[in-house]
Amino acid sequence: MSSTPLLEGRNIHFRYGDEVIFENFNFVIHKGDKVVLKGESGSGKTTLFRLILGFESLQQGDILYQGESLKNPETIRNLRKNSSWLPQDLNIGTGLVEDVILFPFTFQAHKKIKPNQSAIEATLQNFGLTPDEILQKSYSDLSTGQRQRIGLAICVLLNQPFILLDEPTSALDHDSKSKAADLLLNQNKRTLLSTSHDPFWVERCEKVIDLNP
């Protein structure tokens, strides 16, 4: 295990107006860790994701990525370049499912890792989706569970070393949860940070950070 954490929060303070979200909050995540943030609604799970990804600015304290502060815009760019992220709202694209899957690979940072058709089809099958049926469907016509599995498939296809998943199993049945856990939690080289209310997912993560007061 590397002596320098992949991600480290130091004395984080954050509030929305008068509502305190974090007060002197610390955490450490090492490369290869499979971590879940556990807590009730309003405990700060999604807020912490937004702070890590640079969508919110720290008010006090610091978050370090590979030993470098996320207060530096270059560090945020480096983190994003080496990460894949699935938000909870699942509004990740429009048009055909095939277009939604390929869209992240239109960016310069990912053009060189664009998957071929066989890789896309194999990944969809691993998540219990039938490629011939789903690739030419409109993304807007998919069920919430199908959207969630498409989002998870994109995260796998991006093949980044750091994955952030916001409530990744909220719309999945038991069989789909098992497939997702097998594909995402058993890869030693990847670091995974997730949020979840789901006991099935929480129990399978190696490390739990409880945000409940």
Q: Which residues contact 148 (CB under 8 A, 6 or more apart)?
A: 86, 90, 168, 169, 170, 171, 172
- Residue 102: inside a domain: yes
Segments in 8-143 forming alpha helices (H): 45-52, 73-81, 97-102, 117-126, 131-134
* pLDDT value at residue 187: 80
Instruction: State how many domains the chain has.
Output: 1
- Residue 125: inside a domain: yes
- Residue 141: inside a domain: yes
* pLDDT value at residue 42: 77
Phi-psi region of 96 (alpha: psi -120 to 50; beta: other; left: phi over 0): beta
Domain span holding position 120? 94-160
- Residue 146: inside a domain: yes
Instruction: Dig out the tokens for 59 from the structure.
Output: 């008010």
213 pLDDT band, cuts 50/70/90, is low
122 pLDDT band, cuts 50/70/90, is very high
- Residue 70: inside a domain: no
- Residue 205: inside a domain: no
* pLDDT value at residue 1: 47
- Residue 133: inside a domain: yes
Q: What is the pLDDT of residues 131-160, one digit of tens each?
A: 999 999 999 999 999 999 999 999 999 999
Q: What is the pLDDT of residues 24-82, one digit of tens each?
A: 999 999 999 999 999 887 789 999 999 999 999 999 999 999 999 999 999 999 999 99
- Residue 107: inside a domain: yes
